[in-house]
Amino acid sequence: EGWQLVALDAKTGQRLWEITLRPLFAVDWVRNLEVGGGLLLVQRTSSMELYDPANGKLLGTLGRETYD
Checking if the pLDDT of 66 tops 70, the result is no
Q: Is the pTM of this model over 0.85?
A: no
Average pLDDT for 57-65: 88
- Residue 51: which residues within 8 A CB-CB, separation 6 or more? 5, 19, 39, 40, 41, 42, 57, 58, 59
19-57 pLDDT, tens digit per residue, is 998 887 766 788 899 999 999 999 987 789 999 999 999
